[in-house]
Structure 1
Amino acid sequence: MAHAGENHAAGSEPSTSNQTSASAQDAQAEFFDYEKSDDGAPKREDLGYDLFHGRDKTYRENMTSPYGKFENLFDTYHPRCKTKLTVALKSNPFVKLLLRAMEESGCSMYKDRHFSCEPCSYQVAGGFDPQANQNIISSQGMMNRVLTHELIHAFDHCRGKVDWYNNLQHVACSEIRAANLSGDCSFSGELRRLQLKGVKKHHQTCVWQRAKDSVKVVRNCTDEEAARAVDSVWDTCFNDLAPFHKIPRNKKDAIRAARFRYDYDI
């Protein structure tokens, strides 16, 4: 998640930010054995960078070639993405609450520095790059939800020492929280995806499945490894609702959370 300067931890509150963060980080770590590059670091494809074509050297070279520059003249997706990003940052209560929460934790975010519209794989709609401190927003539809999801990762990065590269449990915890709090598993969203297989405990099932799938995709691990990581931190991370005061179902819940936690109208 994006932040300025050093990591900062949020204030202590029961079942919220730094209690859950500490619990997730103090649990016995399961380290995932990435295939190493020649210098001993995990390969970029094992960290999800290959899902974002704009971060590939060959792609960048092609786009700066005469043909690439000509092709860019007819690109309508990028400006549309940037327009939707601007609207979300200025008007969406979920996004505004998360930006406020990060500012309160010492991690102010700036549009031109911390957000980027880029082409990406069909497997993802957005991403967070902890190395560049950027949220990568590449989907044209559902910008508000995608941005909320990625800002939850940013908030987690801001408030605690998340080991994105070596600790699969830390990644799983943030993916659980993002799926739980961003609207990923809303009734309407699941209905559109034809994934609504029952009402009872469907939200929990959806959060578990989406978190597991996200871990598997962005960390290039097996289905079993992703499921084990999610299960190992489930209770702690599913019940960590910061910076919301409950699982938000609509924009009114985000507005109430801002008033409840920060005495702030958005």
Structure 2
Amino acid sequence: MATPSPPPPPQPSSSSPITQSSSAAQSQSQPPSQPPQPNPAPLPRFVENDPARTGYDPSLKWWMNYFRILTGRVTREGVEHYREDRYKANEARDCARCEQDRAYLFKYSPTIRFLRDKVAALNGTLDETNVVCRRCPARVAEDGRVVRQGGGFSPDHGILICANEMRDRSHLEDTLAHEMVHAWDHLRWKVDWMGGHDLRHAACTEIRASMLSGECRWTRETMTRGNWTLTQQFQNCVRLRAIQSVMARATCRDDVHATKVVNEVWDSCFADKRPFEEIYR
């Protein structure tokens, strides 16, 4: 693959559940002579609910608060607090459903089974021990944005699926496939996940994961996100999601920086469909 090569993370430690074969990580990318200086953005924070400010009162029955939301007596922030409290109340149910869907997908999903086998071919293992379902709390960024996630990949721990954010089994399949592409990239290349030397690595793995997972297919965009664009819809979705993910890296300065990095690697990384032969989802 032409430079920059696909996603590169640090070598897995001996305690990592995602192990690496001796033949992996042969590609070496040269870091820029002057790597971008870290400019860590403030970490997302929890915001305490104030019923007098938000209109959401946890002491009331959930259906009473729901009625207050429907009648416009709860602020947008209050709605988020209500949502988080309902997630806490339903945590056991959500995690149980997530684990059931995870087992189904590992058994019957062609995409998930294919990626699992490709990870295994690189001496990696993905199963119920390191693909875990958990409730993921939302946080509020300094600019007031609500930060949510559907899942995540860690070279040292495996894959996290945010059970409370999964709408259905299809959504879980897209999320799991996205993170499994990251796992494959981690074993296949030396990926700098956080962009300590080169954000192009992070941009490349995010482009590939969004492209190959199915999360940007036309039916998902139209039915779930209400995007009925007929031209360049797929490319625009992949690009946007890659930019958003790169922005979450501490060394990314802003959206302009993230867009520039994604554009730099776009042609080579969007053309790289490995370990698939084509885009099937």
Query: Number of matched residues?
Result: 209
Runs (5+) with no aligned partner, structure 1: 11-17, 37-42, 53-70, 250-266
Report the equivalent of 1:33.
Answer: 37
Counterpart pick for 1:110 among 118, 123, 127: 127
Q: Deviations over 1:176-203 (max 9, x none)?
A: 0011111111111110202232x22221
1:92 paired with 2:92, answer no
Is the 2:18–2:183 Cα contact (8 Å) retained in structure 1? no
Report the equivalent of 2:278.
Answer: 246
Q: Deviations over 1:116-141 (max 9, x none)?
A: 433143532111122x3311100322
Q: Deviations over 1:3-30 (max 9, x none)?
A: 53346556xxxxxxx8xx948x347487
Is the 1:135–1:150 Cα contact (8 Å) retained in structure 2? yes
Report the equivalent of 1:208.
Answer: 239
Counterpart pick for 1:101 among 118, 123, 126: 118
Report the equivalent of 2:159.
Answer: 135
Instruction: Evaluate the alpha carbon distance shift between residue 28 and residue 126 of structure 1 in structure 2; reply closer, same or farther with a 3 A threshold.
Output: same
User: What is the deviation of 1:217?
Assistant: 3.0
Is the 1:164–1:170 Cα contact (8 Å) retained in structure 2? yes
Query: Which AA in structure 2 matches 1:34?
Result: P
For residues 188 and 235 of structure 1, what CA distance do their matches in structure 2 show? 24
For residues 129 and 210 of structure 2, what CA distance do their matches in structure 1 show? 26
Tell me the SS of whatever aligns to 2:153.
strand
* TM-score scaled by length of structure 2: 0.65
Considering only aligned residues, what root-mean-square deviation do their CA atoms show, in Å?
3.0
Q: More helix per residue: 1 or 2?
A: 1
User: What is the deviation of 1:94?
Assistant: 0.9
The 5 A counterparts of 1:20-169 are 22=27, 25-26=29-30, 28=32, 31-35=35-39, 45=43, 75-121=92-138, 122-130=147-155, 132-138=156-162, 139-141=165-167, 142-165=171-194, 166=196, 167-169=198-200
Report the equivalent of 2:266.
Answer: 234
For residues 226 and 206 of structure 1, what CA distance do their matches in structure 2 show? 15
Query: Which AA in structure 2 matches 1:33?
Result: Q
Report the equivalent of 1:5.
Answer: 19
Tell me the SS of whatever aligns to 1:112.
coil
Query: Which AA in structure 1 matches 2:209?
Result: A
- Give the fraction of aligned pairs with identical amino acids, expressed as a percent: 28
For residues 253 and 264 of structure 2, what CA distance do their matches in structure 1 show? 16
Instruction: Evaluate the alpha carbon distance shift between residue 30 and residue 188 of structure 1 in structure 2; reply closer, same or farther with a 3 A threshold.
Output: farther
Q: Deviations over 1:42-97 (max 9, x none)?
A: x994xxxx699xxxxxxxxxxxxxxxxxx779732222222222222222111111
Query: Which AA in structure 2 matches 1:136?
Result: L
